[in-house]
Structure 1
Amino acid sequence: MIVQIQGNVKFPITLDPTVWIFDDRKQSFEEVFHPESVEQDNEAEEELKRKSQRFDREVYQQKLNPPVNKSLHRKEKERILTESFMMPIKPFIHTSEPDPSVSKAVLITENGEHTLQADRFAEGLLLFSKDGKPLKEDGPVHLYFTDEGDQQEPIKGIRKIIFQ
């Protein structure tokens, strides 16, 4: 259930997609491919938060500071157990620091290799959770691109990424 980034990089790294569920950079599949439906839910949630903050200020008369370690609320816990989530690959590529001469990313999967342009690969999103569960059978991650939409055929079962 890990993905290795290797090849012509300064820092080879190992990614563990099972812990990304707690990462603030994650995005739901719906947020990425159907943002209009998510906006309506977010507006109602934001209004509820504003009312809650106003109530807290009136009752406690204190300045509200955001928590240092954000805890999961009940709604977020339900969301984690039911939705599908994706993670942008770009921050991990940045951390591994590929050599400027890198032009290709070779994705090693259970079914063979897939070669992509490095710039194109950097724009991808890795699906790591489907319906609240990690991708075990054809995982640990699937690669999607936002410009191809949710009807595209993803690259599944990525186990290793080699920059050349």
Structure 2
Amino acid sequence: MIVPIIGNVAYSITMDPTVWIFDDRKIILEEAFNESDKLEESDTLQEAAERWDRAISRQEKPPVNKSLSRHEREDILKYSYVMPIDDFLNHAEINSDATHATIATDSGEVRITLQELYESYLLFAIDGKPLTDDGPVHLMYKDGSNRDTPLKGVNKIVIN
């Protein structure tokens, strides 16, 4: 159930989507696409500046819930969740000559641009449960263009 980011990067990253349910960066699936519709250009620039700041200061650790109340634990099981992929890509430190990514899935490989990859979510839980049949993650574009037909069965991301 792990998804490595390998290839033309300074550091290979191994993502474990089974623990993301406790990560504060997760976004409820329905809210993820509502928010992307409302983003303005200034918000996009602000996010890019924040990503840059995080990439520069490697001291920052991923935000993780320390403890959950009973109500919060029950709520987790009600929703489907996505995780923005950009933090993981920033930690891998993609080399400047990289231009594309190859997404390895159970049904083959798909080549996308790095921009498309940065502007993607990884669906990792449906109704609070990990994707077991066609997982470990699905890749969905933040603009919602492939929301009904995400890349399923993603098991490796190779930066080219």
Q: TM-score range by the shorter chain?
A: 0.7 to 0.9
Quick check: 1:17–1:141 contact (8 Å CA) kept in 2? yes
Partner of 2:69: 73
RMSD: 1.7
Aligned pairs (5 A) from 1:1-164:
1-34=1-34, 70-148=66-144, 151-164=147-160
TM-score by length of 1: 0.75
Separation in 1, partners of 2:21, 2:91: 19
* Pairwise CA distance, 1:149: 5.2
Quick check: 1:33–1:150 contact (8 Å CA) kept in 2? no
Separation in 2, partners of 1:150, 1:84: 16
TM-score by length of 2: 0.77
Which amino acid in 2 is paired with 1:86?
V
* Greater Rg by CA: 1
Which amino acid in 2 is paired with 1:132?
G
Partner of 1:61: none
Gaps of 5+ in 2: 36-63
* Pairwise CA distance, 1:18: 0.2
Which amino acid in 1 is paired with 2:125?
S
* Pairwise CA distance, 1:83: 0.8
Greater alpha carbon shift after TM alignment, 9-18 vs 77-86: 77-86
- Gap change, CA 1:155 and 1:69, over 3 Å in 2: closer
Separation in 2, partners of 1:84, 1:18: 13
Greater alpha carbon shift after TM alignment, 89-98 vs 24-33: 24-33
Which amino acid in 2 is paired with 1:152?
D
The count of residues paired between Structure 1 and Structure 2 equals 132
Quick check: 2:9–2:94 contact (8 Å CA) kept in 1? yes
Partner of 1:64: none
- Gap change, CA 1:110 and 1:99, over 3 Å in 2: same
